[in-house]
A and B are shown apart, each in its own frame.
Chain A
Amino acid sequence: MDLSPREAVPTAVGKPRKRPWLAVGVLVAVLAGAGVLVFKFLTNAVDYYCNVDEIGVKDGCDVGRSIRIQGVVDQGSVTGEGLNFVISYNGQSMPVVVGSKPTGIFSECVPVVVSGKVVENADGRVFEGREVIVKHDNQYDAENADRLAQGEAEAAACLRKD
């Protein structure tokens, strides 16, 4: 049995290993992926983010332009299974028409973000939405504990905005 101490092989640490092409491939894919991410982010961020009360007031929130609009769904305004509703923000309201039924936790008195554009017609301004996203706030409450209080508070807040 060989009991002599193993020789230190300093060259081992300095030994160049063969270049694995898998890693190179992954790296190329990563660079491409990062490029796509940046591109998508920049092109999507082009849609200006406006609150209901900023339409026609703030720069970039013009009628006819592709924007994202934020507001709270008015109580009792949801009709056509969610295809029509009214959103409000800071005392201003805007009717919204969407092509497909909103999903998620969409309901009355929840804040939503709708992408689309404001159009003028005989009845005034209407927001033609492509996509509705529910903007979830920071409140987390047990469902049953104070549902009534929560519901009342939301309804009150909702009604106040009308």
Chain B
Amino acid sequence: MKATIFDIERNSYVDGPGIRTTVFFKGCNLRCVWCHNPESQSPKPQMMFYKNKCTGCGKCKERCPNNLEKCGLCGKCTLYCPHDAREICGKEYTVDEVIREILKDKAFYDNSDGGVTFSGGECMLQIDFLEEILKECKKNGIHTAVDTAGYVQFEYFERILRFTDLFLYDIKCFDSEKHKQYTGVGNESILENLKRLLTTKKSVWIRIPIIPMVNDTEEELQKIKSFLEACQSPKKIELLPYHAMGEHKYEAIGKEVQMFAVPSEEKMMRLKKIFS
């Protein structure tokens, strides 16, 4: 069994408690217009080309079996580009390969109450693999977190509940129409899944990306707050400010980027107060 993964990031401080390794699965069923990992959306490996790094030296073309006209993802061009202008995003991994990477930092997890976080993309879309790897992690005594947008059937949650210590659950915006406008899908099932997940008494951290002009109003966040209060309260609510660091990656995969303003620190402080 294999999964397509586009990054395994060790020593992550931002995806749950303690020191963690975050495994980024490739493929997502949402299309959030602010997504900072646009390369995570397609489920398949893909070539990324950073035009601004390219000097036109032609080393890639020399090595490409198809003269750069068609990409078979062989990766030769990436190995010989002296300027890191080309890379292949996404690689297939077996459960064993991923576990080996994860275990390298076990001592760090153990000492910091950290662990591993499966993220994406939407890691739940590769549920068979996810279930297996979570089991393996638990066998090795590693704390597990699943970072999800929740747009899957609830049965998927049920399959992994036993092996997951923490869910990082995104709420993008409360109004379903707006949700659809900015992510491509309505949020009814997302909120329903969250409600059901919270009744399981599993630890859940809610993560809300703050996107100016989309969901950065007190009114919007109040609605989310009321919804959460009506459910079993989650353990923690994190507001994550929009950042523009994914911009260059849109160009690299040949997609149009939509830019937003970065919320000010004062605004973030004000919005955080709503939940404190």
Q: Do A and B come from one complex?
A: no
Contact residues of B with A, CB < 8 Å?
A: none
